[in-house]
Amino acid sequence: MKDFDGSNSAGRGQVVILGGSAEARHLAERLGATAQLWLPDSDRITGQGASASAALVAQVQSADALVLAPHPCDVDSLRLGARLGAQAGVPVLRLARPAWRPTARDHWVVLPSARDAAAHIPKGARVLVTLGRPALHELRALRHAVLYVRQLNKHHDPFPLRYGRYLHGTAPFTVAREIALMRRFRIDAVLTRNAGGPGGWPKIAAARALGLPVYMVGRPRIATGPEVNSVEAAMDWLETKLWLDA
């Protein structure tokens, strides 16, 4: 598959990428001037993923294809992209890296949403949470668990729930570091999302090594059309869909 650096983009279809993942950035780099990358955490998209700026709407309406490549568990951006694609009548492709899968040595409890954690996590458990601050409101029912919520950006904000604290850490994480952290804070369980990829995997491997359960929030199921799990496969789809006869 050849790269599209923009030098030969005349006459080629324009692609809008709704990003947020590493794969979105890599795809945009491959496409060059053929692509327009939009990030959910920028001021280009407003609200909690429920609405979009007029510029983004116009961009999608004039595009030849829309690629949804936010964080694999970013349900708001996925819903937004599916709606914009349907309204504009453009082909939509979802690009999401492969999900993690448990082995015989893992002890996973798969949850439909973070809110379901309260029905499964035992009272008094000390839980390492890697869901991000926006999800904390979903954990208010976990009144009898102590939550250690990881934050990648250091801050001094008060912890919003009754029992717990923020743990500030800097990536990249290693299995050895994760094991040491879990032992230091006497962690009983891990609560996370199925993000896939190597970046977040050390905590899963550490929980496995320590025999700890992992409460895994599954990926959102949103009908967006075809789905691929690599940048190369997305390039193949675009080549076939838009450029084969160009």
| CA dist., res. 166 & res. 128, Å (int) | 10
Token reading at 142: 């976990």
Any idea which residue has 């369980």 for tokens? 189
Query: Encoding tokens for residue 214?
Result: 């992992």
Alpha-helical regions (H) of 8-103: 22-31, 54-61, 75-88
Domains in the chain, start-ordered, CATH in brackets?
Answer: 15-98+222-243 (3.40.50.300), 108-217 (3.40.50.10470)
Rounded average pLDDT per 10-residue block, the chain, 246 residues: 39 84 96 90 48 84 95 90 94 96 96 95 95 89 91 91 91 95 98 95 98 96 89 95 65
Q: What is the pLDDT of residues 116-171, one digit of tens each?
A: 999 999 999 999 999 988 889 999 999 889 999 999 888 999 999 889 999 998 88
User: What pLDDT shows up at residue 111?
Assistant: 97
Dihedral sign for Cα 97, 187, 191, 136, please: negative
pLDDT at residue 193, as a whole number: 96
- CB burial string 108-125: b at 16+ within 10 A, e below: beebeebbbbbeebeeeb
CA 43, 16, 68, 234 dihedral sign is negative
- pLDDT score for 244: 57
